[in-house]
Structure 1
Amino acid sequence: MSQFPDYYAILSIPKTATTEDIRTAYKRESLRTHPDRLANATPAEKQKATERFQVVADAYFVLSDPDRRKEYDSLYRSKKERTADPSASANFFTNFANMFGGKGAEPAPENAERPDADYMFADVFDELLRPEIQNRAHWWAYLGAACGAGLGFIVANIPGLMVGAYAGNRLGAVRDAKGKAVAAVFAELGNDQKAEIIKALVMKLFGPSGII
């Protein structure tokens, strides 16, 4: 018998978690498991991180919507074998995705029954950076460099400051030039730049305990 994914355990939240608790947990776990944090990872390590990142998106997709959560909780109570193993989530969507009625995030191209992890992350990524860029629409490049330098210094002192400033400046410059969302600009950066930004956001939001 297939094991049942414990999405509460995956997000490290109790079954009594509020909608805001679930979103906060998703921000934390999506940053911690984002494969772009592993700039120098082997293909196998990258694949493992990508799978974990997808499962975190699965958990948020199901629990963040009241109707989907109600259906999931009904199944949760009837299952004795629950697990945080990533493979269980893929099986879950294969067997039970039809009960969600196609609501919510855009589906992943390679598996139309599961949410697109990158699409879901883009939403919270913009939200995470909004306090840094709000009301500064004409100064993205300068503000991006300043914010990136500050976040980079937190993570890796002077080398981090330099990488962070450059990455932040690129984020802002492309936004100025092309009017793209921050998440779209992030997707165009190099692996090292992405890794520094993700690590800096984890440090900023959750402190040293968030760096794993």
Structure 2
Amino acid sequence: MPTATDFKDYYTILGVSKTATPEEIKRAYRKLARKHHPDVNPGNPEAEDKFKDLNEANEVLSNPETRSKYDQFGQHWKQAGAGVAPPRGTSTNAGGFDFDPSTNFDEYSNFDDFLKDLLGRHGGPTRSGKTHSRSSTQADDFGGFRTQAPAPDTEAAIALSLSEAFHGVQKRLQLDNETLNVRIPAGAKLGSRIRLKGKGRVSPFSQQRGDLYLTIELFPHPFFKFSGDNLTCEVPIRPDEAVLGTQMQVPTPDGGVMMTVPKGVSCGQSLRLRGKGWILPKGDSPQERLRQRTDLIVKLQIVSPKELSEIEQDCYEKIKASSSFNPRSAIEEVRL
């Protein structure tokens, strides 16, 4: 049975206020769990204990039912959930109610009956079903305290190369002392979450396993990058190809394709290869089933040669001497 010195302030452990939203609790837990994770602090027992406290605090406060019991009954919230009568001489304050140390707990069969009688003294129903006249407010039925809190979900991250994410891959993941084989489907993106039902950690309260959620992280690729759902890449072309246009082969995630570059393109201009980008998850509608790839956006970069042959030098000299094109005509009159 916990004593006052055993009590853990889960809000203080997570560094949040008692009015924190579920999102704030989740963010605080993730930040501190990464900092104190045993893998990040090998051989540090203090970090290991802190990590255990963080998991315990998150498990209680992330579940509305257990958080409500914890807020109302303090260090005795577990007894409220198990239906166990409190020990003789217990005195604390939970939700504004004083547990009188002189109370004869032998007359109560379990903690549930004690709570009903306690709440009756504060305007709630007693064991007999009657309500004291001090308040007209009726307390809720506390039978729900005997239900066990569901097992918490476990969060983890898994890093993939762009090739693994595009094609899909089988990975082996170490979670505590268990090795899990995880199948990552094709088309996973940065921030995607994969649910493994019943593969999370075991709850110390219910002894049940929660779900494991894997968040996808991607290693950067030297050529392909994301722009929303599409992929982008930069392809160099010669000045003469930009002027005259050309046909050239462009890399895509699953092999090179021929692309037509129209004449007169500019440096930085983008061309689109439809259906040559990232793999989309298959949807239910006919349109989603047909469109399984995003686009590849090809950004052109005009690259001038550093060294020229005599023929090239002569040709460029002739072009320079005979050309009437002035690319700076639109800015000649610019002034401040």
TM-score range, shorter chain: 0.3 to 0.5
Structure number having the greater helix percentage: 1
- Taking structure 2 as the reference length, the TM-score comes to 0.28
Higher relative contact order at CA 8 Å, sep ≥6: structure 1 or structure 2?
1
